[in-house]
Amino acid sequence: MAERVQQPPAKRLCCRPGYGSTCRQGQRAAGATCGGGGSGAGGSASTQGGSSKTQNPESLLDIAARKVAEKWPFQRVEERFERIPEPVQRRIVYWSFPRSEREICMYSSFNTGGGGGEEIGSSGESGDETRLPFRRGIALLESGCVDNVLQVGFHLSGTVREPATSSEPELVCNVSVSFDRCKITAVTCSCGNKDIFYCAHVVALSLYRVRKPEQVKLRLPISETLFQMNRDQLQKFVQYLITVHHTEVLPTAQKLADEILSQNSEINQVHGAPDPTAGASVDDENCWHLDEEQVQEQVKLFLSQGGYHGSGKQLNLLFSKVREMLKMRDSNGARMLTLITEQFMGDPRLALWRQQGTTMTDKYRQLWDELGSMALERSKTKETN
């Protein structure tokens, strides 16, 4: 539960306007199987190990949902159409998760030579590479350590078990991932990972969803499910929820109850309520999750080490990551370049050297040159998102 609290707050308020409860009931009955895509082409694949793709042509619903999921923030879909049938919502939500491992690889490993990450897939590498979060994530996935995978709307959660070693006991991590238009937009993991890269557990959970989408339980955004309940069901739902997690949620539950029952409270000034599973709002930026604070912290740390203790090498690795992102036309390339440049500009030694009239060290100058050439490259490329 503590991890859930760290989730970025949902940006938009969901109130499901314009829906009649009668048609809701009808739709529910129609799509009642509720498994990993109980309707449409995806559903049949679940029983046949996913190889049915070549036998069955894709349904029109799936083709359309795939395109919409790629390009449209979900709020726009909701605004455009007064009523979206449940099977359609399910397929849009289904197709909204990233479908390739390429970017997940880019956000969880340094480019250790080679191309854009297409050679991924086996965990048999040796040396340092096995320690990269991406490789470790694949190893965890392939050894069956991912469990309890659940997709609720635009939110994926699961547990990843890190087996015990001779020095460390077994560790079970609660992982969750938010996504929008085929990009992972937020990640949390109870391992407390502090790094520019996604941890191995986030990788393992994400790749599970990419590789076995039909095995993942899929539900509509929670606000949608709540909308289907009547008053008695809602009461039962809340009481059970509080009972299961009473030590953690009771203070919050009481605070919310007080606010809702007080007419002048802030919560009563707006219609609807946040839903962390509801997907993107119209003006949400659509880019991959990048921990900007970590980029700043790490560059600052490497600079303070003055290019010694391998920090020069680390900075060069960061530079090559920026290059890789620019090449992939990922908007985080430019963001990362800006963040790194700001840290370089803010380096206290710069002012000191100017004051003393001394020149910077060769190593340091090389890093500056590198930064300059990247800015030049950046000005020549235009990212697509």
Using CB under 5 A, count the residues that bind Zn ion: 6
Per-residue string for binding with Zn ion, 74-93, x by CB under 5 A? Answer: --------------------
Q: By three-state DSSP, how is residue 202 classified?
A: helix
- Among the residue ranges 173-181, 207-215, 233-241, 365-373, the one whose residues contact Zn ion (CB under 5 A): 173-181
Least Cβ distance, residue 173 to Zn ion (angstroms): 5
Q: How far apart are CA 177 and CA 150, in angstroms?
A: 11
Place of tokens 């339980």: 217
Stretch that binds Zn ion, among 64-72, 167-175, 252-260, 263-271 (CB under 5 A): 167-175
Number of H helices, E strands in the chain: 17, 7
- Contact between 289 and Zn ion per CB under 5 A: no
Q: How far is the CB of 257 from Zn ion (least distance, A)?
A: 34
Site string for Zn ion, 125-164 (x = CB under 5 A): ----------------------------------------
SS3 295: helix
Say how far apart CA 241 and CA 239 lie, in whole Å: 5
Tokens of 33: 């199987």
Amino acid identity of residue 211, one-letter, is R
**Both ends of the chain: CA-CA distance in Å?**
34
* Binding region for Zn ion (CB under 5 A) out of 147-155, 169-177, 269-277, 308-316: 169-177
Q: How far is the CB of 135 from Zn ion (least distance, A)?
A: 14
Cβ proximity to Zn ion, 199 vs 334, nearer residue: 199
Instruction: Tell me the closest approach of the beta carbon of residue 369 to Zn ion, in angstroms.
Output: 36
Query: Do residues 102 and 118 lie in contact, with contact meaning Cβ atoms separated by under 8 Å?
Result: yes
Question: Cβ 117 to Zn ion, closest distance in Å?
Answer: 20
Please state, in angstroms and rounded to a whole number, the distance separating the CA atoms of residues 255 and 239: 15
162 versus 224: smaller Cβ distance to Zn ion: 162
180-209 binders of Zn ion (CB under 5 A) = 189, 191, 193, 199, 201
CB of 304 to Zn ion, least distance (A): 27
CA dihedral (261, 4, 251, 254) in degrees, to 10, reads: 20
CB of 6 to Zn ion, least distance (A): 13
Give, as one character, the DSSP assignment of residue 130: G
Q: Which stretch binds Zn ion (CB under 5 A): 91-99, 141-149, 165-173, 320-328?
A: 165-173
Burial label for 134, CB within 10 Å (0-12, 13-18, 19+), is buried
**Residues of the shown chain interacting with Zn ion in the complex, contacts defined by CB under 5 A:** 173, 189, 191, 193, 199, 201
